[in-house]
Amino acid sequence: MTLAAPSPTHADITRPCVNFPPSIWGDVFLQYDSESLEINMKKQIQIQKEEVRKIFLSSKNNIAQKLNFIDSLQRLGISYHFEREMDETLEQIHNSFTNNKEITSTEGGLHFLALAFRLLRQKGHHISSDIFKKFKNNKGNFNEKVSKDVQGMWSLYEATHLKIRGEDILDEAFDFAHAQLNSKTTNQLSPFLYAQISQCLRTPLYKGVPRLETRCYISSYEEDPSHSKVLLNFAKLDFNILQKMHQKELADITKWWKKSDFATKVPYARDRVVEAYFWPLAMSYEPKYSFSRKMVGKLVTCISLLDDTYDAYGTVEELEIFTQAIERWDFSLIQSLPECMKVVFKTVVELWDEIEMMLIENGKSNLVLQYIKQAFYKLARSYLVETKWCNEGFIPTYDEYKANGLISSTIPLSIISFNGLGEFSNKELLDWIFSDPTIVNAVSAIGRLADDVSSHKFEQQRVHVASAVECCMKQYNISQEEAYKLINKDIEDYWMDINEECLKLDRIPRTVLDCILNVARVTEFTYENYEDKYTNAELLKDYVVALLVDPISIEQHE
């Protein structure tokens, strides 16, 4: 009788492991575990907040003044204190534009109109791009005289990024403003204006991560000759107070990670706690989202463990069992799997328990957890599809790849978790997010494509599923450079989807839409310049230090 060959043990299996660099942060953030706000700081913030409110209310009869003040509040990261006042003011200004057709010619110039256009569209108000027609000449081109108004050019350039389809005038305005701003030198501009223009040409405000934009703007705002000391002091104090809150949140997540000892138990996975927290911090830095940031910070680290388990460890057979266990949340199904995969599964289940307990403590509905679990299973299933494609050497079409990639981007799960744990959570909102609305699909596509363009060369050095780049090259029979161009054009189109949806979705709370929009922003930031700041943590280090380590100095004589 011939004996069957023994099944290979887990140790015998050749796995596509990657040697990811270790964490660069170690225990740095554990020191903030006991951080607490001084009573004096809380008193100061209230006093200064009332001073700012008085200034805001005193400008109520001057539309241009109000718009500039709102712009400053937003750029300095303190607008969340005055949402009601700002909403009422912008509503009034929108009514003025709607009811008074002559306002475009009687109220200010290019800076005024471009700023009004951007601020109103950002809040979901419909305002026509035709307001810029007055700056064109008889030949239909933008008037060269306008180019001398540098502040106006800067505001116009920023406004063009809120364009929707069919707005040819904004395409023309973009090209005109971009060329004019690029031609300016340090000798022609004040240090403040030159710094702002350089920054917006690198990253337009609308596409920037709000917290990073705030940190950068506070530093340069002092250089603005017309800056308000009251506003500046309040912005600095508020930034430092929120930084203490963010440090405490990150300390909590770091302590959880260290206690779980993932670096030893799941050695193939990336240790990226700080980088994982950067995502929910980018979605919203406001105090009311503290619970969401902490839970989603932990969830992103779990997603990272899951991603690396499918991408850099498990076999197809193991991952099919693992995916089935996630579908049923059944421990009995994973008994045959390697110990490290059991650790990942157990960690996710324990996170569900923690979320459930926190929801009960905060008097929130437990319904959100069911949606998060379903979204997590959909993510695991999309990872399994990619694993099978990789194992079979199969290159799907670009369209097939994108359909699966919307989910494997991890973005639908992040969005439903962050907003599901937030103040506006209810069944209607959760059903809407879970129905794959256009805006969520657009943000997810940007995430998938930007990630692929930045990381595909590194990933193709090992056994790895074909990325959007390879799928695009195969489907259209084009070169890598041509694929990059096509993908980047797709990303621009998805941004227009986002802009259009932000104007249509008036039944969805604005703060929810802003959180979704911020995911697109942090995605572009993370993967810009063909780099991956999540995996290559050194690339993110200076930004983390600016937001989460170094407070802003507040000089006493101010």
Q: Give the pLDDT of the chain (558 residues) as one tens digit per residue.
A: 443 333 445 555 666 666 788 899 999 999 998 767 677 888 899 999 999 999 998 876 788 999 999 999 999 999 999 999 999 999 999 998 887 655 554 456 999 999 999 999 999 999 999 999 999 998 889 998 899 899 999 999 999 999 999 999 999 999 999 999 999 877 788 888 898 999 999 999 999 999 999 999 999 998 888 899 999 999 999 999 999 999 999 999 999 999 999 989 999 999 999 999 999 999 999 999 999 999 999 999 999 999 999 998 999 999 999 999 999 999 999 999 999 999 999 999 999 999 999 999 888 888 999 999 999 999 999 999 999 999 899 999 999 999 999 999 999 999 999 999 998 999 999 999 999 999 999 999 999 999 999 876 555 454 557 899 999 999 999 999 999 999 999 999 999 999 999 999 999 999 999 999 999 999 999 999 989 999 999 999 999 999 999 999 987 544
Neighbour-count burial for 372-392, b at 16+ CB within 10 Å, e otherwise: bbebbbbbbbbbbbbbebbee
Asked if residues 446 and 477 have their Cβ atoms less than 8 Å apart, the reply is no
Indicate the residue type of 203: T
Pair 309, 341: CB distance under 8 Å: yes
Q: Is 14 exposed, middle or buried (0-12, 13-18, 19+ CB in 10 A)?
A: exposed
The segment(s) of the chain belonging to CATH 1.10.600.10 are 247-548
DSSP states of 380-448: HHHHHHHHHHHHHT----HHHHHHHHHHHTSHHHHHHHHHHTSTT--HHHHHHHHT--HHHHHHHHHHH
Report d(CA 111, CA 91) in Å as an integer.
20
Beta bridge partners of 142: 136
List beta partners, residue 136: 142
Q: Which pLDDT score, from 0 to 100, does residue 10 have?
A: 55
For 310-329, b/e burial (b = at least 16 CB within 10 A) is bbbbbbeebbebbbbbbbee
End-to-end CA distance of the chain: 92
Tokens of 198: 């350089």
pLDDT of residue 12: 56
pLDDT the model gives residue 40: 80
Integer Cα distance of 113 and 111 in angstroms = 6
CATH 1.50.10.130 fits 57-234, yes or no: yes
310 in Cβ contact with 386 (< 8 Å): yes
| pLDDT (0 to 100) of residue 363 | 83
Q: What is the pLDDT of residue 186?
A: 74
The yes/no answer on whether domain 247-548 falls in CATH 3.30.1340.30 is: no
What pLDDT shows up at residue 103? 57
Nearest-angstrom CA–CA distance, 236 and 246 = 15
Q: Which residues of the chain are in CATH 1.50.10.130 domains?
A: 57-234
- Residue 108: per-residue pLDDT: 63
Instruction: Say whether pTM exceeds 0.85.
Output: yes
pLDDT at 101: 58
Token pair 């912005």 is found at 235
